[in-house]
């Protein structure tokens, strides 16, 4: 590594702009002002050597220099913000409405939003926060913040730690605030030091040279910001892992018990009862809405019981469960247990629970029942035996019937629009007959059937929609945000002020520098030199 020796004898590392010991500009190394002796010194990072400004040969140097650029960091953040904004145009995959025509992303976005929706899906914006390129973008922002901070923090820390009261006259004369007085008494010099201490400056003296400083800690505000942002980014990345963050959805039917998704089969929920309360149709506040869309929900809640599995799974056996809690889940009143939170997020009315069919003769206008049977739509049997000798086979069952390319299919496994293909076996070994029966459909497969099936009765039930969430990253987000705000306050409300007193024969030189609020620094100097013959500093920026 090349070294640069100053005339004061101090050896500076390569890339130094202002000598670490005396502050004299290094000849031929004025990256900042091009060696123009008339210009003020650029005091950013106190002229210390930065790695990104010194080395540019190896691939590591080039990568370091790329990510140490503030512009690169800002552009990465802008790209992340643009991507996040686009991700809010249409709902994310997990928020596709339950009543959508199809909840398959490949179908939903194109069907709902046309060509733009298809492009949105194909570019991966439907699952933005879980996409690899978005996570890579977040990681690159983190890399940029770390390198950018190290590249500036370390040299600045060394420069401020090593600064001495005695500075080269060139350093003082090229500060923004400067004055020179030819005759100053020893008492007046003492008054200056005393005044600085009264202004709560920390004072160092070296052979009559004085450095007064306060508010240095404000220089670390931006780096504290960076630490906070890095913690937030780490929390965002951890949010992609199921160990740290779960956001799932489960439908639970009245009376049904099911495993809670995301718990790896450890917890179960039972929908003991679902309650829906609506506003009175004569309520003036909601009359318009009720006339427009029907009933308006006032409250809907799930009376739930949470169970926890005991012991290990045994193949073929139902798990042994123990009750954890029993509570009501309402809007804005979630159920919390063992780190998980269940939110009441939706419901469905009138989902079919069971259907009763009767068999009658095709040509009987009164449709007199020859026998009936009831199908539990959650667990339908393959065969039903009727009392008077008939038997019915359930050949095909479509819980949520629809036609796909002229072929019957089920859109979901839930009995929202059940349809069946039945095979009816009449008594006395007559030829079996096939029928297709659904809501509003009763089709004779051959047109020659002697018997027909009809819906005699049905039961419906509510289905409760619950959001399952576990978030271990939230404390990290809060800590990161708090640290970020501390950095903002630290850098915004305090200033790093420095005043140098340089004895010169019978007189004195006064120079001052701050990172902000120059008016405040001038007021400090004005109070310090009051009742002395020391000239007030000139603002050389205004003079230029």
Q: What integer pLDDT is reported at residue 439 of this predicted model?
A: 84
Does the structure show a pLDDT above 60 at 32? Answer: no
Do 184 and 207 belong to one domain? Answer: yes
Do 318 and 269 belong to one domain? Answer: yes
In a domain, 388, yes or no: yes
Write down the residue that tokens 């400004």 correspond to: 53
Q: What is the CATH number of the domain that holds 191?
A: 3.30.310
Measured on CA atoms in the order 208, 509, 46, 495, is the torsion positive or negative? positive
Do 255 and 317 belong to one domain? Answer: yes
**Whose CA is closest to 329, among 306, 296, 352?**
306
In a domain, 201, yes or no: yes
Does the structure show a pLDDT above 90 at 528? Answer: yes
Alpha carbons 274 and 501: distance in angstroms, whole number: 80
In a domain, 95, yes or no: yes
Do 278 and 345 belong to one domain? Answer: yes
Mean pLDDT of the chain: 87
Do 144 and 84 belong to one domain? Answer: yes
One-character DSSP codes across 516-534: S-HHHHHHHHHHHSTTS-P
Do 250 and 344 belong to one domain? Answer: yes
Do 272 and 314 belong to one domain? Answer: yes
Do 420 and 344 belong to one domain? Answer: no
Residues 299-339: pLDDT tens digits?
Answer: 889 999 999 998 777 666 778 889 999 999 998 899 999 99
Reduced to 3 states (helix: H, G, I; strand: E, B; else coil), residue 313 is: coil
**Residue after which a domain boundary falls, among 89, 118, 148:** 148
Residues 425-448: pLDDT tens digits?
Answer: 888 767 888 889 988 888 887 778
Task: Give the number of domains in the chain.
Answer: 5
Going by DSSP bridges, is the β-strand pair 419-425/441-444 parallel, antiparallel, or unpaired?
unpaired
**What is the mean predicted confidence (pLDDT) over 504-515?**
91
In a domain, 522, yes or no: yes
In a domain, 231, yes or no: no
CA 430 to each of CA 370, 389, 444: distance values in angstroms, whole numbers, following the listed order: 15, 11, 17
Q: Regarding predicted confidence, which is higher, 36 or 519?
A: 519
- 474 falls in which pLDDT band (50, 70, 90)? very high
In a domain, 284, yes or no: yes
**What is the mean predicted confidence (pLDDT) over 229-240?**
90
Length of the chain: 544
The winner for highest mean pLDDT among 89-93, 292-296, 540-544 is 89-93
In a domain, 481, yes or no: no
Alpha carbons 190 and 205: distance in angstroms, whole number: 11
Alpha carbons 212 and 235: distance in angstroms, whole number: 41
Do 359 and 446 belong to one domain? Answer: yes
**What is the mean predicted confidence (pLDDT) over 234-260?**
88
Q: What integer pLDDT is reported at residue 448 of this predicted model?
A: 81
**What is the mean predicted confidence (pLDDT) over 50-79?**
89
Q: Which of 232-236, 255-259, 401-405, 426-430 has the lowest mean pLDDT?
A: 426-430
DSSP for residue 537? P
Do 394 and 443 belong to one domain? Answer: yes
Do 301 and 211 belong to one domain? Answer: no
CB atoms inside a 10 Å sphere around CB 9: 9
Q: What integer pLDDT is reported at residue 145 of this predicted model?
A: 92
Give the range of the structural domain holding residue 387, as residue numbers without chain letter: 355-453
Alpha carbons 160 and 30: distance in angstroms, whole number: 20
In a domain, 74, yes or no: yes
pTM: predicted TM-score of the whole model, two decimal places: 0.73
% of the chain at pLDDT higher than 70: 95
Do 252 and 344 belong to one domain? Answer: yes
């Amino acid at each position: 590594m090349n070294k640069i020796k100053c005339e004061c004898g101090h050896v500076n590392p390569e890339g130094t702009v202002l000598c670490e010991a005396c502050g004299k500009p290094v000849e031929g190394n004025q990256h900042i002002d091009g060696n123009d002796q008339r210009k003020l010194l650029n005091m950013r990072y106190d002229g210390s050597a930065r790695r990104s400004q010194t080395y540019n040969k190896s691939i590591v140097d080039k990568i370091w220099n790329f990510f140490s650029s503030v512009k690169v960091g800002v552009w990465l953040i802008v790209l992340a913000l643009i991507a996040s904004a686009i991700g809010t145009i249409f709902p994310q995959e997990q928020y596709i409405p339950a009543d959508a025509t199809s909840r398959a992303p490949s179908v939903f976005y194109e069907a709902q939003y046309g060509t733009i929706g298809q492009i949105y899906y194909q570019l991966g914006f439907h699952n933005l926060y879980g996409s690899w390129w978005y996570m890579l973008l977040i990681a690159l922002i983190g890399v940029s913040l770390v390198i950018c901070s190290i590249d500036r923090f370390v040299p600045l820390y060394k420069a401020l730690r090593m600064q001495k009261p005695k500075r080269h006259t060139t350093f003082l004369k090229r500060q923004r605030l400067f004055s020179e007085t030819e005759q100053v008494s020893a008492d007046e010099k003492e008054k200056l030091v005393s005044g600085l201490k009264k202004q709560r400056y920390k004072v160092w003296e070296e052979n009559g040279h004085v450095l007064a400083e306060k508010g240095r800690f404000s220089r670390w505000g931006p780096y504290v910001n960076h630490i906070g942002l890095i913690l937030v980014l780490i929390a965002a990345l951890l949010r992609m892992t199921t160990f740290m963050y779960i956001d799932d959805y489960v439908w639970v039917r009245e009376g049904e018990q099911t495993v809670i998704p995301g718990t790896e089969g450890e917890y179960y929920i039972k929908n003991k009862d679902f309650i829906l309360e609506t506003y009175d149709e004569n309520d003036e506040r909601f009359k318009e809405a009720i006339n427009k869309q029907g009933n308006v929900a006032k409250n809907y809640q799930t009376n739930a019981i949470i169970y926890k599995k005991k012991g290990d799974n045994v193949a073929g056996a139902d798990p042994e469960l123990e009750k954890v809690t029993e509570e009501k889940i309402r809007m804005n009143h979630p159920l919390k247990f063992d780190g998980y939170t269940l939110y009441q997020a939706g419901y469905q009315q009138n989902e079919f629970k069971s259907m009763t069919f009767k068999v009658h003769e095709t040509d009987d206008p009164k449709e007199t029942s020859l026998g009936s049977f009831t199908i539990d739509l959650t667990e339908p049997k393959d065969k039903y035996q009727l009392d008077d000798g008939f038997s019915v086979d359930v050949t095909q069952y479509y819980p949520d019937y629809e036609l796909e390319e002229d072929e019957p299919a089920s859109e979901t496994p839930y009995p929202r629009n059940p349809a069946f293909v039945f095979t009816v076996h009449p008594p006395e070994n007559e030829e079996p007959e096939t029928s297709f029966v659904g809501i509003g459909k009763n089709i004779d497969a051959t047109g020659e059937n002697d018997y027909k099936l009809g819906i005699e009765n049905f039961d419906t039930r509510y289905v409760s929609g619950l959001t399952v969430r576990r978030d271990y990253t939230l404390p990290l987000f809060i800590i990161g945000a708090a640290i970020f705000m501390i950095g903002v306050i630290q850098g915004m409300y305090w200033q790093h002020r420095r005043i140098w007193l340089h004895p010169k024969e019978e007189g004195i030189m006064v120079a001052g520098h701050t990172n902000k609020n120059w008016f405040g620094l001038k007021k400090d100097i004005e109070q310090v030199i009051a009742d002395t013959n020391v000239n007030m500093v000139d603002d050389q920026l205004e003079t230029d």
